[in-house]
Structure formats: C-alpha cells, structure tokens
Amino acid sequence: MTNRLLILLILLVTACGGGAATTTSADLATDDTTTTTASTDEETTNGTVDLSDMPQECIDAFVAFLVAIEPVVEDFDFANATMDDMEAIGTELEAATAAPTAEMESLNCPDVDASDEEAFAAMIDIAEREAPGTVAYFQWIESIGASAGDGSGIVSSGDCETDIETMEALVAEKESMGNLTMVELTDLGQLMTAITTECSAERFEEFFSQPEIEAFMSSEG
C-alpha cells in the first residue's frame, strides 16, 4: 500500500465512531449539526472537519474498500511476514483495491481534525463493524508506525564498528532482504542511518562495497 493510500484511509475512517451496527453519518454525529453528503462535483475541500462530520459518501467508499481487502488480509500473518510475503500479498491487494481506491480518490474528502491514535482507533472501530477480517491488518499498520524508533528493536550503539558488526550479524542470519520482516527492515534502516553518520566516508564505502553486503542489499529472496 502506498503512503498516499494509507493517509487517505486514515482520513476517511476517522469519521466513524459510536456503536451502531452500520456506519452512517447520523451514527457519527456528536452534536446537533446535520452531516451533509458532499457531491463529487463540488470543489475540493481544503479545510478540516470534526470526526463526526465526514460526508457519508466518503464513509461508504471506505466500507467498500474494507469489503474488497477482507478476503485478502483476514488470514495473513502480518506480524511474521517477510518482505517476499509482503510483495506477494501486495500484488493481490493492488488488484482487489483498484476500483474502491479510484472511487475514494475521486471524492475529494476533507481532512479531519484528529490525532494518529484517534485515526487508528476510528479505523479499527469501523473495521470491527463492517469487515472484522481487516482488523488485524490495521492493528499491524498502527504497530509498525508506533514501534519505529521506540527502542524495541535493534538500537544503534553510537559506535561505527559496533553497528557494522550488528549489521553483519543480521546479514549473515537473514541472507536476503526478502527474508526480513517489516520490523527487521526498520531495524536495518536505522542501522544503515547510524553507520552513515558514525563512520567515515572511506569506512562506509569499504563496508557497503563488500560482495556479501552488496548481494544482500540487492537480493529479493
């Protein structure tokens, strides 16, 4: 999934809330203001709206997206999936979401005034009601974002040679980029950033020009 699509999903789903069996703009209302449905031929909305004020057609489009991806993601083990696994399911998702994605992009839905936590809580709330098989998928996306840089994975030592040794160990263990999970890929990125800043240009070039490192970085499985 592209970053653009993920952002769009967050914006759409933050409209949901409450405990109704189906998701409608009326269910989302938190005050006496009536939610109006935006027409697709209206001008693009540049402002922000409260969580309760997302146009109904935007909510419906997101529900259609959920229904489309549920058969693809409901039995997939995202927590332990490797990059090769992710590439395979990505191909399936691209095909399954072509129509609902095009519909969402055509709606010019407004931004919402909400934090990331509120956005994901709303996203998961609507998924639980409309397509329960997608809940784990959105929880996984949220966890990836929350874990990045939180110190739960490989942490840079602050020393060039120590971090090079850590990366060498990861390369030896996994043998291929395609064998990395998303968490391990995040760890690798942090290590490479650290090595870039800690090591001299000569040491950096020497390390990354080694045949085994070049093979690892260019491999897919």
Q: What is the mean pLDDT of residues 58-69?
A: 90
Residue (of 52, 48, 50, 13) closest to 29 by Cα position:
52
- Give the Cα separation of 143 and 55 in Å (integer): 28
Cα–Cα distance list, 71 to 77, 129, 208 (Å) = 13, 16, 41
pLDDT-based confidence at 220, cuts 50/70/90? low
pLDDT at 26 (0 to 100): 42
Residue 48's DSSP bridge partners are 111
Residue ranges per structural domain of the chain: 3-147, 160-218
Phi, psi for 150 (deg, rounded to 5): -90, 5
Range 84-96 average pLDDT = 84
For 108-158, how does the pLDDT look when each residue is reduced to its tens digit (9 = 90+)? Answer: 877 766 777 887 888 889 999 999 999 988 888 777 666 554 445 567 788
210-215 long-range contacts (CB < 8 A, ≥24 apart) are: 212/171, 213/171
pLDDT band at 160 (very low <50, low <70, confident <90, very high): very high
Segment 1-25 mean pLDDT: 40
